[in-house]
Amino acid sequence: MENRDFKILVVDDEVEYQNVLSIVFENCGYIVRTASDGSKALRILSEEMINLVITDLKMPGLGGQELVRIVKEKYPDIEIMIATAYGTIDSAVETVKNGAVGYFVKSDDLTKLVTDVDRLAKEYRKQQKTKKLVRQENFPEAFLDTSNKEFAAVLKTCEKAARSNIDVLLIGESGVGKEVIAHYIHENGGRKNRPFIPVNCQAFSSGTIESELFGHEKGAFTGALSQRIGRFEEADGGTLFLDEVGDLPMETQGKLLRTLENRTIERIGSNKTISLDIRLISATNKELSEQTKVGMFREDLLYRINALTITIPPLRERREDIPCLIDFFLKKIQTEQKKKVISVDEEVMTGLLGYNYPGNVRELKNILERLVVLSEDGIIRHSDVLPDKQIAERICSGAENIQSLHDARDFFESRFISKKLREYDGNVTRTAKELSITPRQLWNKINKYGLKP
């Protein structure tokens, strides 16, 4: 429903006025909370993500001016609007100077206040959108077109999963694109305008991962100098992506399980429960069922996170996509490096198509980045690649890297067909005749190996 992404906290010691504002704003679709003084308001602010506080100035206990000061210090992103009686306009103006966004005289027509709040909500959404754009920029554009049946089925399952709220476990070797796929699921679902928050569980020590995930209160432990919102809270309404979930320490696994069961968290150092609406996507390149057998991963957690498991095939098992991925990355890298690449010589291309990529799409991308650096006059030449031993060993050294008979056959076949096509000036019908196969069969192989007749 419109406006449900914007939460308002009304602070007033007059219960009737709290009720009036609650009814008015709830009718506009906003979520409204109420408090009768500053201290109660601060308690709610520490428990929930609030976007706007509308507060009276004169209240018993902690008053409005003091509340504005504390809120601006502790939660600088929260907007504050003063609702004041006619006699206290001067103090309201003073509060605006201290950080409130505006004031409203209680005896005035409420539609003015509604217009101001609508404007603030609109502004908030615009900022969220910009934040999302920045996140998108940080998130590289992906190529998710495929000629491979298995990968096509994976993408289809992801699209179905996206339409539901089901928790997904992605399994695949390092570099196959698990994060890319997680983002794809997020972007195809109803949460796409909400945050996508990735966390690499491997990147944090066992001492810091919980604070990263669940946040902490100021002074919760030595070094907790200020309050910190955890990744779970940041992802509220959106998707949390836990990469390398198999690397979570056992105690954190227990806490994660409880969080997923109750859909609530408690920041470290606080006993306040915060409710969250999260879609979880986890990823692993480990055999988690094996990890459960040796006591490294909780079995109950595994059952909780793998409501739907999607296995992403390694690049060597979807070789037909390599030519299009090469095209995609070369275009992207040219723009990034501001360097034109017009062609890749045949030997390099054959090497790229024949290599088995243990590091998957990440490795292909890294190799191409280096090839573009090495290119001269817009051409990636075999002779320019040779001095880069690491790359040359992978794509120029022929069959040494091939491990299976299947890959060896493909390697030989692609070179042989390429040679024959050259002999017949790229004429597919004549080359097919020479190879004793039909032109259709030859076209299939040309497409499979990304050859250019």
Q: Measured from the CB of residue 335, what is the shortest distance to ligand ATP in angstroms?
A: 14
Nearer to ligand ATP, 89 or 180 (CB): 180
Rounded Cα distance between 244 and 77, Å, is 32
Nearer to ligand ATP, 92 or 333 (CB): 333
Nearer to ligand ATP, 123 or 327 (CB): 327
Q: Measured from the CB of residue 243, what is the shortest distance to ligand ATP in angstroms?
A: 5
Nearer to ligand ATP, 44 or 144 (CB): 144
Rounded Cα distance between 75 and 41, Å, is 13
Q: Measured from the CB of residue 143, what is the shortest distance to ligand ATP in angstroms?
A: 4
Q: Measured from the CB of residue 177, what is the shortest distance to ligand ATP in angstroms?
A: 3
Nearer to ligand ATP, 365 or 415 (CB): 365
Q: Measured from the CB of residue 306, what is the shortest distance to ligand ATP in angstroms?
A: 17
Q: Measured from the CB of residue 202, what is the shortest distance to ligand ATP in angstroms?
A: 8
* Residue where the block lists tokens 């690499």: 200
The number of CA neighbours under 13 Å toward the Cβ of 165 is 8
Q: Measured from the CB of residue 169, what is the shortest distance to ligand ATP in angstroms?
A: 13
Residue nearest ligand ATP (C-beta atom): 177
Q: How far apart are the first and last CA of the chain?
A: 56
What is the C-alpha R_g of the chain? Answer: 29
Residues with Cβ < 8 Å from 255, sequence gap 6 or more? 210, 214
Nearer to ligand ATP, 96 or 180 (CB): 180
Under 8 Å between Cβ of 265 and 232: yes
Nearest to 268 by CA among 237, 203, 224: 224
Q: Measured from the CB of residue 211, what is the shortest distance to ligand ATP in angstroms?
A: 22
Nearer to ligand ATP, 52 or 245 (CB): 245
Q: Measured from the CB of residue 152, what is the shortest distance to ligand ATP in angstroms?
A: 13
Q: Measured from the CB of residue 366, what is the shortest distance to ligand ATP in angstroms?
A: 8
Nearer to ligand ATP, 299 or 327 (CB): 327
Q: Measured from the CB of residue 28, what is the shortest distance to ligand ATP in angstroms?
A: 41
Adjacent-strand bridge partners of 170: 283, 310
Nearer to ligand ATP, 83 or 305 (CB): 305
Binding site for ligand ATP (CB under 6 A): 140, 142-144, 172, 174-180, 243, 283, 285, 361-362, 365
Nearer to ligand ATP, 46 or 366 (CB): 366
Nearer to ligand ATP, 74 or 286 (CB): 286
**3-state SS track over the chain:** CCCCCCEEEEECCCHHHHHHHHHHHHHCCCEEEEECCHHHHHHHHHHCCCCEEEECCCCCCCCHHHHHHHHHHHCCCCEEEEEECHHHHHHHHHHHHCCCCEEEECCCCHHHHHHHHHHHHHHHHHHHHHHHHHHHHHCCCCCCCCCCHHHHHHHHHHHHHHHCCCCEEEECCCCCCHHHHHHHHHHCCCCCCCCEEEEEHHHCCCCCHHHHHHCECCCCCCCCCCCECCHHHHCCCCEEEEECHHHCCHHHHHHHHHHHHHCEECCECCCCCEECCCEEEEEECCCHHHHHHCCCCCHHHHHHHCCEEEECCCHHHCHHHHHHHHHHHHHHHHHHHCCCCCEECHHHHHHHHHCCCCCHHHHHHHHHHHHHHHCECCEECHHHHCCCHHHHHHHCCHHHHCCCHHHHHHHHHHHHHHHHHHHCCCCHHHHHHHHCCCHHHHHHHHHHHCCCC
Q: Measured from the CB of residue 354, what is the shortest distance to ligand ATP in angstroms?
A: 20
Nearer to ligand ATP, 83 or 315 (CB): 315
